[in-house]
A and B are shown apart, each in its own frame.
Chain A
Amino acid sequence: MNETHTSVLSAFCDGEPVDPDAFAAALADSLAREALVAFVRVRRAVQTGPEQMLPASLAVMRRPHRPVWRMSIPLPAVAALLLVVLLGAWMVLPRPAAPSAPSSDTPPTPTRVVKYVPGVDWQNH
């Protein structure tokens, strides 16, 4: 293995442009190939995203991520989705009781009213 081979492979791993003939010569060097594998292991150890395991030249081949808000969704689909969400919420969320069905802690309307009468059935002390 010579340093030229490892430099070419290191540059490739870093995403730098390399000469194809020099790259082919480096791959023919078994020690340089082992070095390339070592480079890959080091990158894997320090990086987590799968796309980052690849050189930039290969990474650009992936479909770029686009934010959801920049996606073009048809307007009727958006309206239908909103409708479904609103309908679901109306069905699921609790609603206040109707005025005609008061809670048990609310006193009922009496059918008649009577009074304690002092001196008759009420005594003040």
Chain B
Amino acid sequence: MRIRFQSMGIAVALVSGVLVSTAPAAAQSDTGVQPLVAIAARVVADDGTTKGGAGSDPDPFIAGKPLTSYIFTGLSGAGADALCSLGSSNTTSRTLEELIETRAHVWKVTVTPVDYQAAKEKVDVDWTRYEAGSGGRPVASGRQRLLLLQGQRSILDLVHAQPGARCAHVELDVVASAKEDAAFADTVLQYDVWLVHRDPAGRKDSRHMILTGLQGSELPFDFAPLRFDVPKFVAGQYDYNVAAKVRGHIRGRLGPDGNITLEVGTTRMNALALRGEFADPPIAGEGRKILQVKPGEAVEIELPSWSGFSGRYASPADAEAGKGTVTRIGVGGGTGAIGGARGAIKDTKTAEPISYSGGRIVVTFPRFFDGHQFSMIVQAKKLNDD
């Protein structure tokens, strides 16, 4: 598994011509960042807000060095609200037996760092949950390997509160974080991000966002959808367009060599939409790239060709006759099928770009965007460093 992952990283570097860190030591020397890992739990209220938490201190990510922590709830005699208060301990200050005897719920969690590549932490997690009255026997457990992006929390276990409790549930997480190099921690970076679209005739359209943030901060960007007209096939047809949307995040770190390491995450969505509507369709594709750039250097990142299809009832009359699902969206591979008695898409590579089939307007994205090119251009610099 490890060999395969490293090969993947080398492939990224070869294909894209970018620098991809291949080991924790390399990543730290490039960016001065120290990856960390922690075990945490939080109390969540009925409205979804966090009402409290506990956990281990973030531990330096060192491959093979396990981090073990106990997480526990309130005293076993505290009734329904016992779940709503949390504590944590390392393995030297408390014993598991003592905690199981006194607490309503106890977790023993061990996280073992595996490797750190391209700003991703790979960890092995082993956890066990005990409850009061179970005679010291585990009531739940899990063992898994996780790949975590910086700042990501991955839920390991979740316990719902009993009715009448002042919280909804408790969740157990493993959290990936990072400690910035003190010499650069206060650096403010500015990012210019353009979404660029070129049509088959070479006409160019672009959108631009400017973001600023501290070294290592993850900054989201979200471009307004690009919209493309859909021809009318039937009388009374809804006013549809094809909406293509790109959003993502950017994170940069200025290094001791003066270069900036960028992490660019990109998500693309597309849908047949009513004018002015963008009904948050499923994600069609997403990617993440690590680049090393000079301050002010502009790098273009091309997005892959489109996949999937989207179909919606063409008109109110078709919707009335259909009596079925209004929206059907297929994404992913080159083939797919749209249900309905009167029509189907057999192959998104050979289907018409837009068609009227089975009472629906169907857009086959690979054909519709044939000849179109979408890319992002990113540029980063230290703020006030012209």
Contact = CB atoms under 8 A, between A and B. Distances in A.
B96 interface: no
A108 B260 CA distance: 18
B194 interface: yes
A125 B331 contact: yes
A120 B304 contact: no
A112 B188 CA distance: 25
B263 to A, nearest CB: 11
Contacts of A121: 12, 16, 287-289
A117 B206 contact: no
Given A105-B208, A107-B196, A123-B285, A113 B300 contact: yes
Contacts of B301: 113-116
Given A106-B206, A117-B12, A121-B16, A111 B286 contact: no
A48 B214 CA distance: 75
B287 A123 contact: yes
Interface in B287-304: 287-289, 291, 297-304
Nearest to B291: A114
Interface in B249-297: 266, 282-289, 291, 297
Contacts of B297: 111
For the residues of A in contact with B, the DSSP-based class is loop
A117 B299 contact: no
Contacts of B287: 116, 121-123
Contacts of B206: 105-107
A30 interface: no
B283 A125 contact: yes
25 contacts: A104-B192, A107-B194, A107-B206, A108-B377, A110-B377, A112-B17, A113-B302, A114-B18, A114-B291, A115-B16, A115-B302, A116-B289, A116-B302, A116-B303, A117-B15, A117-B304, A120-B12, A121-B16, A122-B303, A123-B285, A123-B286, A124-B304, A124-B308, A125-B283, A125-B332
Please give me the 6 A-B residue pairs with the lowest Cβ-Cβ distance, nearest first: A122-B287, A110-B300, A107-B194, A116-B287, A114-B16, A108-B298
